[in-house]
């Protein structure tokens, strides 16, 4: 999948699932082709709109490297 196709697919999925981020990310992950990238981009877009509530708590609880990610987020927020 070309880069512009990947971004376009992620954008379309995020738009279609704007009110149901978990379903949108799941659909993106199961969409075929470059699913990890499409789901990552769609998830980033939905996360930008909805914040942390876009992500199921079970996803956050099981996140590999969660402590490091939360430290980096705190550092970025401190800079803003």
- What is the pLDDT at residue 69? 92
Residue 60 to residues 14, 15, 56, 69, 79, Cα–Cα distance (Å): 19, 23, 7, 11, 24
What number of other Cβ atoms are within 10 A of residue 28's Cβ?
Answer: 27
- What is the pLDDT at residue 4? 82
Q: What is the pLDDT along the chain (80 residues), one digit of tens a residue?
A: 678 899 999 999 999 999 999 999 999 999 888 899 999 999 999 999 999 889 889 989 989 999 999 999 999 999 98
Q: Give the global pTM.
A: 0.80
Residue spans of the domains in the chain: they are: 3-79
């Amino acid at each position: 999948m070309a880069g512009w196709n990947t971004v376009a697919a992620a954008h379309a999925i995020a738009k279609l699932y704007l009110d149901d981020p978990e379903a949108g990310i799941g659909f993106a992950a199961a969409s075929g082709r470059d699913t990890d990238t499409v789901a990552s981009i769609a998830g980033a877009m939905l996360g930008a709109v909805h914040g942390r509530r876009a992500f199921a708590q079970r996803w956050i609880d099981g996140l590999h490297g969660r402590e490091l990610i939360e430290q980096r987020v705190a550092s970025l927020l401190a800079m803003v």
